[in-house]
Amino acid sequence: MTINIAIIGLGLIGGSLGLALKRNPDIHIIGFDQSYSTADEAYRRGVIDIIAPSAQSAGEQADIIIFATPVNTTVVLMQEAIEWALKEDIIITDTGSTKKPIMDAATLLIDKGISVIGGHPMAGSHKSGVSAAKEHLFENAYYILTPPPNADSGQIERLRDLFASTKGKIVVLDAAEHDRMTAIVSHFPHIIASSLVGRLADQQEGQSFVKNLAAGGFRDLTRIASADPVMWRDVTIQNRDELLTQLDGWFEEMGTVRDMLVTNDPDEIYNFFAEAKKFRDNLPSTFEGATQGALYMTFDLHIDIPDHPGVISEITKILADDRISLTNIRIVETRTDVYGILVISFQTSDDRKRANEVLSKATDYSMQIL
């Protein structure tokens, strides 16, 4: 039996969802995007089967609607959908990274008897737009569903079955719980990373060479500060309360660290770093098969290579011969807190694992997974 899916918003996430869902031959996808050129590219790439003239038209033809739009846009669409002539057994879901605002906006739909189940596929890419869409984007990533209280369990199972073709790991959470956890491990770290970059920018006057020294571990530590500022402005506004809670805890922690520095007790300072190292070292590793968490990062391989002509082309040829794609490659000059002179980034943990295996067999260079 054919299942009609409306995907409204055909960027990286909407496009990748379309490709993943079309692994199921029973899926027929109706697509809409504010940009007709984006919708046309999605159609030409086989992401969608037909282009709808409007979000309402797409929604009214669908058995399941997926809003793959920014959270603010999804909130508006949830409100507009109240006036749409939807099918009786429709399910509405979304892909937003903040769930409570969306589920709050869906209240009138839920009160009307319409099934609304929030969704958040925790996967990303260094690229954006439908041209970057990949059917494997969600593989082994957490796909969070946030149904409202007293949601129909049968409708939740329908979504589980639908998203099975993404090969993601489906987890059901309360919307507020989701926002609290993503604030801790994703949203708040973005604020901290941006703050660290701000501190560097403020202090470089009169010591301009400090930017060069920041090209090693500091650059890796603050990589997420290069994310889209529009998106992170919206996320910060949407998850404001949870972020304020995290900031209060951070200020308290920094007060403790300051007291530690004033006291200057070697044992206390050692324990501070040792406890952090122990906890961090016990976090799940994507290289060991753990699922990628809420914070999108590239998968890096650090390689200690000798400085001789042709060494980088030698390594890239080995990877190319095994058809392993890389997303970035760079030489590290500031190595005080970074292992290896060459850093290669990959799109997936599987690509990094394969690269580690083939390079280990083909070279004598030492490597480290980060």
User: Is a pLDDT exceeding 50 seen at residue 299?
Assistant: yes
What does the alpha-carbon distance between residue 158 and residue 130 come to, in Å, rounded to a whole number?
26
Q: Is residue 336 part of a domain?
A: yes
Residue 45 counted as domain residue: yes
- Work out the average pLDDT over 296-323: 77
Residue 239: which of 189, 173, 314 has the closest Cα? 189
Confidence of residue 287 (pLDDT cuts 50, 70, 90): very low
CATH number of the domain that residue 329 is part of: 3.30.70.260
Question: Are 225 and 197 within 8 A, CB to CB?
Answer: yes
Confidence check: pLDDT of 297 > 90: no
CA-to-CA dists, residue 254 to 97, 257, 269, 277, angstroms: 28, 5, 13, 18
* pLDDT band at residue 60 under the 50/70/90 scheme: very high
The tokens describing 194, both together, are 């941006």
Angle, in degrees to the nearest 10, between helices 266-281 and 240-263: 140
Q: Is residue 293 part of a domain?
A: no
| The last residue of a domain, from among 173, 204, 227 | 173
Together in a domain, 13 and 111: yes
Look at residue 364 in the predicted model and tell me its pLDDT: 67
CB distance 305 to 367 below 8 Å: no
Of the three residues 241, 264, 287, the one that is the final residue of a domain is 287
Fill in the DSSP letter of residue 148. Answer: P
Instruction: State whether 277 and 356 are in the same domain.
Output: no
Residues 304 and 331: their CA atoms lie apart, in Å, by 10
pLDDT above 80: residue 334? no
- For residue 226, give the amino acid letter: S
Q: What is the CATH number of the domain that holds 182?
A: 1.10.3660.10
Q: Which of 173, 199, 215 is the last residue of a domain?
A: 173
Q: Are residues 150 and 187 in the same domain?
A: no
SS3 209: coil
pLDDT digits (tens, 9 = 90+) for 128-172: 789 888 888 888 889 999 999 989 999 999 999 999 999 999 999
The confidence band for 300, taking pLDDT boundaries of 50, 70 and 90, is: confident
pLDDT for residue 176 is more than 80: yes
Q: How many Cα neighbours within 13 Å face the side chain of 253?
A: 8
- The pLDDT tens digits of the residues spanning 206-263 come to 788 887 777 667 877 888 888 888 888 988 999 999 999 999 999 999 999 999 999 9
Per-residue model confidence (pLDDT) at position 340? 53
Same domain, 251 and 195: yes
Instruction: Give yes or no for residue 91 having a pLDDT over 60.
Output: yes
358/333: higher pLDDT: 358
Is pTM beyond 0.85? Reply is no
Q: Please check whether residues 63 and 160 belong to one and the same domain.
A: yes
Structure tokens at 14: 């909407």
Is 227 found in the same domain as 156? no
Asked whether residue 292 is domain-assigned, the answer is no
State what percent of residues in the chain have pLDDT above 70. Answer: 89
Number of domains the chain contains: 3
Cα–Cα distance measured from residue 189 to residue 191, given in angstroms and rounded to the nearest whole number: 5
Q: Are 245 and 225 in a shared domain?
A: yes
User: Do 14 and 107 share a structural domain?
Assistant: yes
Same domain (yes/no): 241, 328? no
9 and 138 share one domain = yes
Q: How far is CA 366 from CA 104, 231, 298, 341, 361, in A?
A: 52, 38, 20, 11, 11
Give mean pLDDT, residues 94-119. 95
Q: For 1-40, how does the pLDDT look when each residue is reduced to its tens digit (9 = 90+)?
A: 899 999 999 999 999 999 999 999 999 999 999 999 999 9
Q: Are residues 102 and 203 part of one domain? A: no
Kindly report the CA angle at 200 between 196 and 204, in degrees rounded to 5? 175
113 and 221 in a single domain? The answer is no
Q: Is 170 left (phi over 0), alpha (psi -120 to 50) or beta?
A: beta
Looking at residue 183, its amino acid is: A
How is residue 121 written in tokens? 């596929």
Q: Which of 129, 125, 109 is nearest to 117 (CA)?
A: 109
Q: What is the CATH number of the domain that holds 61?
A: 3.40.50.720
- Domain around 278: 178-287
Nearest-angstrom CA–CA distance, 335 and 316: 22
